[in-house]
Amino acid sequence: MTKAAIVILAGTESHSDLGRLVNGLEAAREFAENPEDDLELIFDGAGTQWIPELEDPDHDYHDLYAAVKDDSSACDHCSGAFGVDEAVEDAGVVTVDEHDGHPSIRSLVDDDYEIITF
């Protein structure tokens, strides 16, 4: 079994940020499609801004996001810092705050997850 934690850090400001998001979602979907793999998809930092955008059914990558949404979470602190905490809650995305309001990357490493950032 492969254990992967994909962390989306890219914001929403540029074409390259969109490319990093899509690459991250594609990688997440590849893990999600394999029933033997264990996936954690974390929207962190500026990456939390993608959640309200991807929730829009008209967004070009809504379907890709929907394919991995059940495996996703968002940083609690960063959701608030980037002003999307209500949208994240409305989307039903779980927020994580194990380490000073942020996801604990150390606990993922301790649980043998490979950490992949986009």
Q: How far apart are CA 29 and CA 52, in angstroms?
A: 19
Structure-token pair, residue 5: 């934690």
The number of domains in the chain is: 1
Over residues 100-115, the pLDDT tens digits come to 999 999 999 999 999 9
User: Residue 83 belongs to a domain with what CATH number?
Assistant: 3.40.1260.10
pLDDT at 78: 98
Task: Write the DSSP string, 98-112.
Answer: TBTTB--HHHHHHTT
Over residues 15-68, the pLDDT tens digits come to 999 999 999 999 999 999 999 999 999 999 999 999 999 999 999 999 999 999
End-to-end C-alpha distance for the chain, whole angstroms? 22
Calculate mean pLDDT across residues 71-95: 98
Query: Which domain range does residue 48 map to?
Result: 3-117
pLDDT at 52: 98
Give the pTM. Answer: 0.97
pLDDT at 48: 98
